[in-house]
Structure 1
Amino acid sequence: MVSADIARTVVGVIGNVISFFLFLSPVPTFVQICKKKSVEQYSAAPYLATLVNCMVWTLYGLPMVHPHSLLVVTINGTGIAIEVIYVILFLIYSDKKKRLKMLVVVLIEIVLIALLTLLALTTLHSVNKRSTVVGTICILFNIMMYASPLTVMKLVITTKSVEYMPFFLSFASFANGVAWTSYALIRFDPFITIPNGLGTIFGLAQLLLYATFYKSTQRQLAARRAKGGDADLSEVVVNTNSRVSNKLGTASAPAPAQINGKGRTSVVHGAA
Structure 2
Amino acid sequence: MGDRLRLAVGVMGNAASLLLYAAPILTFARVLRKKDTEGFSCIPYIIALLNCLLYTWYGLPVVSCRWENFPVVTINGLGTLLEFSFILIYFWFASARDKMKVAAILIPVVLVFGVTAVISGFLFHDHHHRKVFVGSVALVASVAMYGSPLVVVKQVIQTKSVEFMPFYLSFFSLIASSLWMAYGLLSHDLFLASPNLVGSPLAILQLVLYCKYKGIIKEPNKKWDLEQNEDKSKQLQLVINNNDANGKS
**TM-score in terms of structure 1 length:** 0.69
CA displacement, residues 136-173 of structure 1 (integer Å, 9 cap, x when unaligned): 11111122234434455567778888787554433322
Shift of 1:180: 0.6
Residues 157, 111 of structure 1: CA spacing in aligned structure 2 closer, same or farther, 3 A cutoff?
closer
AA aligned to 2:58 is Y
SS of residue in 2 equivalent to 1:38: coil
Higher RCO, 1 vs 2 (CA within 8 Å, ≥6 residues apart)? 1
Do the aligned partners of 1:4 and 1:187 also contact (CA within 8 Å) in 2? no
Q: Which residue of 2 aligns with 1:84?
A: 84
Which segments of 5 or more consecutive residues in structure 2 lack a partner in the other structure? 222-249
CA displacement, residues 198-252 of structure 1 (integer Å, 9 cap, x when unaligned): 2123334445x36xx84x658x64xx5xxxx7549xxxxxxxxxxxxxxxxxxxx
Q: Which residue of 2 aligns with 1:70?
A: 70
Residues 93, 23 of structure 1: CA spacing in aligned structure 2 closer, same or farther, 3 A cutoff?
same
Do the aligned partners of 1:163 and 1:217 also contact (CA within 8 Å) in 2? no
**Aligned match for 1:18, one of 16, 19, 26:** 16
Task: Please identify which structure carries the higher strand content.
Answer: 1
**TM-score in terms of structure 2 length:** 0.75
Q: Matched residues, percent identical?
A: 32
Do the aligned partners of 2:11 and 2:71 also contact (CA within 8 Å) in 1? yes
Q: Which residue of 1 aligns with 2:50?
A: 52
Shift of 1:6: 1.1
Note the aligned Cα RMSD (angstroms): 2.9
Question: How far apart, in 1, do the equivalents of 2:206 and 2:177 lie?
Answer: 13
Q: Which residue of 1 aligns with 2:144?
A: 144
Do the aligned partners of 2:181 and 2:193 also contact (CA within 8 Å) in 1? yes
Which segments of 5 or more consecutive residues in structure 1 lack a partner in the other structure? 233-272
Task: Please identify which structure carries the higher helix content.
Answer: 2
CA displacement, residues 96-129 of structure 1 (integer Å, 9 cap, x when unaligned): 4543553454343333222211110111111110
SS of residue in 1 equivalent to 2:40: coil
SS of residue in 1 equivalent to 2:148: helix
Question: How far apart, in 2, do the equivalents of 1:189 and 1:96 lie?
Answer: 43
Do the aligned partners of 2:47 and 2:144 also contact (CA within 8 Å) in 1? no
